[in-house]
Amino acid sequence: PRGARILAVADAWDVMTASRPYHEALTEEAALAELGRGAGTQFWWQAVDAMNRLVERGTLDPIQAPVGDASG
């Protein structure tokens, strides 16, 4: 379903751009490149394209939860 495809990109973005105990956060550019490599195979290309537009426009407003917080 479309919603699941969108959530897959959003979840991957969150994992890549947030610092975790097991890895440092990627830059936006590196995360976009990684999504781009998976566009059309691992990720729905239209959702990746939308994420690119959100980042380019600066309209992506991340919610930063503390590392280890179950809510984020």
Under the banding of pLDDT at 50, 70 and 90, the label for residue 59 is confident
**CB contact burial 41-50 (16+ within 10 A = b; e otherwise):** eebbeebbee
- pTM summary value: 0.80
More confident of the two residues 62 and 20: 20
Tell me the CA distances in angstroms from 12 to 18, 71, one per residue in order: 10, 16
Average pLDDT over residues 4-31: 94
Any residues with CB less than 8 A from the CB of 63 and at least 6 apart, and which?
72
CA distance 23 to 38: 20
